Amino acid sequence: MDDQAIVLANGSIDDPATLRKRLKEWGEAQVIAADGGSRHAEILGLDIDAVIGDLDSIDLETRAALIAAGVRIETSSPQKDETDLELALLNLADEKVKRIVVLGALGGRLDMTISNVLLLTHPRLASLQIELWQGRQTAWLIRPPGGEIRGRKGDTLSLIPLDGDAQGITTHNLAYPLQHDTLSYGPARGVSNILSGPVARVEVHSGTLLAIHTAEAI
């Protein structure tokens, strides 16, 4: 679908079998590789539509094979301010894509992992629904007024404030409830809550929460 995209970043891929199962509902989405993220396509059973980045992680043989396969190559200068993943996401924002799942955003270099997570807060990406997937884990942002979490009873949910304190938080169907509470920036109070039903809800008055949902099973 034109409004959905799968983005392959150059981090690690955990549990590809689970990811392949999760991706079945994204069969019509375009697939964009951020430079070396193209190496994950085969194990995930994906056909790449475009590669975006400075291509410092792709050798000439691989690049030639991608071009021969009809993959669009969008090369940027190595002297750039953005990471390859950032360029890929901004490109999709310009294309008016609404839903994006990013695979391979975590693992490997700690600096890149933190940077990739914080890209979710990029002002130009605020209108997009972006999720980071790692095996059975899903990370995304919850902004005011809040949102729903769909899963199963027993799933784990962590809520981590990203840009200062998150205030006025009320939760529903979580084992450790919050009632008009504040999650302070820094302390780990919001980590490892548990869904007590298939649908939980988090209400937020102000601030931004990183939600990380870990499914017990897929």
| Confidence class for position 1, pLDDT limits 50, 70, 90 | low
Domain 141-214, classified CATH 2.60.120.320, yes or no:
yes
Q: Is 62 exposed, middle or buried (0-12, 13-18, 19+ CB in 10 A)?
A: middle
Domain ranges of the chain: 4-135, 141-214
The CA distances from residue 190 to 29, 177, 202, in Å, are 33, 10, 12
Per the confidence metrics, is the pTM higher than 0.75?
yes
pLDDT of residue 14: 87
How do residues 53-91 score in pLDDT, each as one tens digit?
Answer: 888 877 888 888 888 888 899 888 777 888 999 999 999
How do residues 3-49 score in pLDDT, each as one tens digit?
Answer: 999 999 999 998 999 999 999 999 889 999 998 899 999 999 999 99
| Mean pLDDT of the residues in the chain | 93
Domain 4-135, classified CATH 3.40.50.10240, yes or no:
yes
pLDDT of residue 69: 86
Question: What is the C-alpha to C-alpha distance for residues 164 and 216, in angstroms, rounded to an integer?
Answer: 30
